[in-house]
């Protein structure tokens, strides 16, 4: 902890104004300056102001697996910043399942363990930034856990309750109703029926996104090849009216792959990778601009190679887009910036022989709230370095 005599003597309102412009990582360091600064920066008013003025901290998520004693495997969750520095390792948390956005819209990791001979799943909800286990439950067992592929379960957060719910998918068979379970409430599985008009459609396995408490599923008509979005409200556990997907209007194209993603943290996005007759491959990025009317806007068209592209967010005060591209055959990935004015992609950071399973955007709230320990320079409580402090102090005056 720094000595009070070493700290600059400034009014609290001026300190708050200046610190609200610094990056998330620097704000975490300034939290460690004194208890007064800690109280200021971790307060809800400052957190809200900081979020409105700065970009979230970008962290990449990697998973490594190892054998457990007695059999089975478990995974370590690794958070890495864009400079390649390992910020945190959460050890032996189970097998990574999915990223779920909680009540405060912060990213949580959901993991599971399969326990034998009892044949049940143990699910955990983990704050990847602090490593704290927000929830652990064994309620996934429904008598057939050992026969079920884990991909048949999808996790989302209901709104406004913030309850974590698991939806068990049953494909296109109307005689096998879908089920839903609330993690942590001790209740049993509940049937939610079967989405209407699914007999003539095909579910795109794995393409599920939850936004604002609504879980979205991508289906394709087996006759017309048109896309449909089925929507389940997790709070009421009722099916909403389905949406029709966007229509490209392009002739003589072959859709290589399509999937749903979460864009700008609150917008449903449909990504279509198409190959034209001239063998050019492009990726169309459609954004759902009006949920009530089902209006889609083709926001970007990116000329790409064989890599899969995951659009992440629009850059602050710019039409440019941040995206994550990777090639499984080359085992390489990169964070890229796409400029729609020039139609070009520029590598922001390139990762040789490394593919990360997700990209997380963490606001200051992820580090200083949710009853978590204070996170410092390396995401360790009260980590403080005078050299880092002086560097950040100089940097924040450059911002003003």
For 134-161, what is each residue's pLDDT tens digit?
A: 888 876 655 444 445 555 788 999 999 9
pLDDT given for residue 392 in this prediction: 44
Residues 6 and 48 reside in one and the same domain: yes
Integer Cα distance of 285 and 207 in angstroms: 15
Mean pLDDT over 321-326 rounds to 89
Cβ-contact 216, 224 below 8 angstroms: no
Residue 185 included in any domain: no
CB of 169 closer than 8 Å to CB of 152: yes
The answer to whether position 324 is within a domain reads yes
CA 80 to chain centre: 15
Asked if residue 124 is part of any domain, the answer here is: no
- CA 348 to the chain's CA centroid: 20
As a whole number, mean pLDDT of residues 123-132 equals 87
- Structural contact between residues 321 and 337, judged by C-beta atoms closer than 8 angstroms: yes
Per-residue confidence (pLDDT) for residue 291, from 0 to 100: 85
Q: For residues 173-177, give the mean pLDDT.
A: 65
379 domain residue, yes or no = yes
Residues 309 and 256 in one domain: yes
Which residue range(s) make up the domain with 274?
Answer: 252-355
Structure tokens at 395: 């940097």
- The alpha carbons of the chain give a radius of gyration, in whole angstroms, of 23
What is the DSSP secondary structure assignment for residue 145, as one 8-state letter?
Answer: G
**Partners of residue 167 on adjacent β-strands:** 154, 180
| 336 within a domain of the structure (yes/no) | yes
3-state helix, strand, coil in the chain (%, to 5): 15, 45, 40
Quick one: 294 and 316 in the same domain? Answer: yes
**Measured distance CA(282)–CA(207) in Å, rounded:** 20
- In a domain? residue 39: yes
Tally the domains of the chain: 2
Across the chain, what does the average pLDDT equal? 78
pLDDT at residue 120 greater than cutoff 80: no
Mark whether 290 and 328 lie in a shared domain.
Answer: yes
Question: What per-residue string of b and e applies to 178-194 under the rule 16 or more CB within 10 Å gives b?
Answer: bbbbbbeeeeebeebeb
In this structure, the answer to whether residues 311 and 389 fall within a common structural domain is no
Evaluated on CA atoms 66, 68, 74, 77, the torsion sign reads negative
Q: What is the pLDDT of residue 199?
A: 56
- Are residues 267 and 324 both part of a single domain? yes
Among the ranges 4-8, 251-255, 308-312, which has the highest mean pLDDT value?
A: 308-312
In a domain, 220, yes or no: no
pLDDT (mean) for 79-104: 85
The answer to whether 232 and 210 are in contact (CB under 8 A) is no
Residue 43: other Cβ atoms inside 10 A? 14
Task: Output the six-digit token pair for 315.
Answer: 């850059």
Neighbours of 18 (CB within 10 A): 17
- Do both 340 and 367 map to the same domain? no
Please check whether residues 316 and 379 belong to one and the same domain.
Answer: no
Q: Is residue 277 part of a domain?
A: yes
> Is the pTM here over 0.85, yes or no?
no
Q: Higher-confidence residue: 197 or 338?
A: 338
């Amino acid at each position: 902890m720094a000595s009070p005599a070493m700290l600059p003597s400034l009014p609290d309102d001026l300190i708050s104004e200046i610190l609200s412009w610094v990056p998330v990582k620097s704000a975490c360091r300034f939290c460690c300056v004194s208890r007064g600064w800690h109280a200021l920066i971790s307060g809800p008013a400052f957190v809200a102001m900081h979020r409105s003025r700065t970009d979230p901290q970008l962290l990449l998520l990697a998973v490594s697996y190892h054998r457990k004693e007695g059999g089975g495997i478990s995974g370590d969750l690794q958070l890495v910043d864009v400079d390649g520095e390992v910020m945190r390792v959460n050890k032996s948390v189970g097998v990574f399942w999915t990223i779920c956005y909680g009540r405060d819209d912060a990213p949580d990791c959901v993991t599971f363990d399969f326990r034998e001979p009892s044949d049940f799943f143990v699910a955990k909800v983990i704050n990847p930034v602090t490593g704290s286990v927000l929830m652990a439950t064994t309620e996934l067992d429904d008598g057939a856990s050992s026969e079920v592929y884990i991909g048949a379960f999808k996790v989302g957060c209901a709104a406004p309750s913030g309850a974590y719910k698991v939806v068990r998918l049953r494909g296109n068979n109307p005689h096998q109703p879908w089920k839903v379970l609330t993690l942590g409430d001790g209740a049993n599985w509940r049937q939610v029926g079967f989405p209407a008009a699914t007999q003539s459609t095909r579910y795109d396995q794995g393409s599920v996104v939850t936004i604002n408490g609504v879980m979205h599923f991508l289906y394709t008509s087996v006759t017309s090849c048109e896309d449909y979005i089925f929507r389940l409200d997790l709070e009421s556990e009722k099916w909403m009216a389905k949406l029709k997907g966007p229509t490209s209007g392009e002739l003589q194209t072959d859709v290589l792959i399509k999937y749903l993603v979460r864009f700008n943290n609150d917008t449903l996005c449909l990504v279509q990778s198409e190959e034209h007759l001239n063998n050019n491959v492009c990726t169309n990025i459609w954004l759902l601009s009006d949920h009530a009317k089902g209006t889609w806007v083709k926001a970007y068209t990116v000329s790409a190679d064989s890599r899969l592209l995951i659009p992440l967010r629009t850059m602050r005060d710019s039409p440019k887009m941040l995206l994550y591209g990777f090639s499984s055959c080359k085992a390489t990935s990169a964070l890229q910036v796409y400029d729609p004015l020039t139609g070009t992609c520029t590598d922001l950071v390139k990762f040789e022989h490394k593919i990360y399973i997700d990209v997380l955007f963490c606001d200051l709230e992820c580090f200083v709230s949710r009853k978590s320990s204070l996170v410092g320079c390396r995401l360790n409580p009260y980590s403080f370095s005078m050299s880092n402090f002086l560097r950040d102090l100089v940097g924040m005056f450059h911002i003003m």
